[in-house]
Amino acid sequence: MHPCPYPLLIFAAGFGTRMRKLTVDRPKPLIPVAGRPLIDHALEVARLAGVARPVVNLHYRAAQMEAHLRGAGVDFSLEQGQILETGGGLRAALPVLGPGPVMVLNSDAIWTGLNPLTQLMAAWDGVQMDALLLLLPVEDAAAHGSVSDFRLAADGRISRARGAAGHVYLGASMVNPDRLANIPDEVFSLNRPWDDIIADGRAYGVVHQGGWCDVGTPEGIGAAEALLKAGSDG
């Protein structure tokens, strides 16, 4: 395994409201899937990709997350006061992450097949890209629904799509963080800089070689465990 040359931010700050009662007394990244908390699955992805010390952003029930991750070889970006969403959270974490292109990974998903982060690193071209998103055809995205996020062109560029046809964003991407400096708001989604990058023709996608399951709802837990079992049986 080669060391990863890029910093990684794992998003773990959210309230997990779609999980309903499961997140009343704990943050969503500590919900177990196949006997392991979601955050541990994400950290395993990072470890296998050669990430030496990932950064985890925290907000909701941050003390529980810090206690769980103590000794796990991670750094923290603590969002105090208000939650900053994905774009604001990434920008707030940049002093910990350091300069250059950054990888981001949602903690509420389960993967099979090739490592999502190694796929991003292999496809990244900083000369022509400011964003690279990992995607799946909408029909292959477990527990996600039928609405797509992007269209993927033959040259790898992406554009926005809404409807049954298209690809789903899987919560793993690389981004040039310089794009975040021009956004005046403190709280914003990564969708905002992505729209500017798409307009400039510098947003690309790569299709994940494997399975993926969204674990944003209670129903997603069973679907994720079935995905993992199918992967181990295969």
CA max distance for the chain: 49
Beta pairing partners, 133: 173, 205
pLDDT of residue 205: 98
Question: What's the token pair of residue 93?
Answer: 């974490």
Given this model, what pLDDT does residue 141 score?
Answer: 86
Q: How far apart are CA 231 and CA 125, in angstroms?
A: 30
Query: Percent of the chain, pLDDT > 90?
Result: 88
Q: What is the dihedral of CA 185, 191, 196, 202, to 10 degrees?
A: 140
Find the helix packing angle between 38-48 and 116-123, rounded to 10°.
Answer: 40
Domains of the chain, first to last: 8-233 (3.90.550.10)
Share the mean pLDDT of the chain: 94
Asked if residue 215 has pLDDT above 90, the reply is yes
Phi, psi for 102 (deg, rounded to 5): -125, 140
pTM exceeds 0.85 for this model: yes
Separation of CA 125 from chain center = 19
DSSP, res 100: S
Q: What is the pLDDT of residues 15-26, one digit of tens each?
A: 999 998 999 999
| Model confidence pLDDT, tens digit, residues 39-54 | 999 999 999 999 999 9
Which has more confidence, 165 or 175?
175
What is the average per-residue pLDDT within 90-110?
96
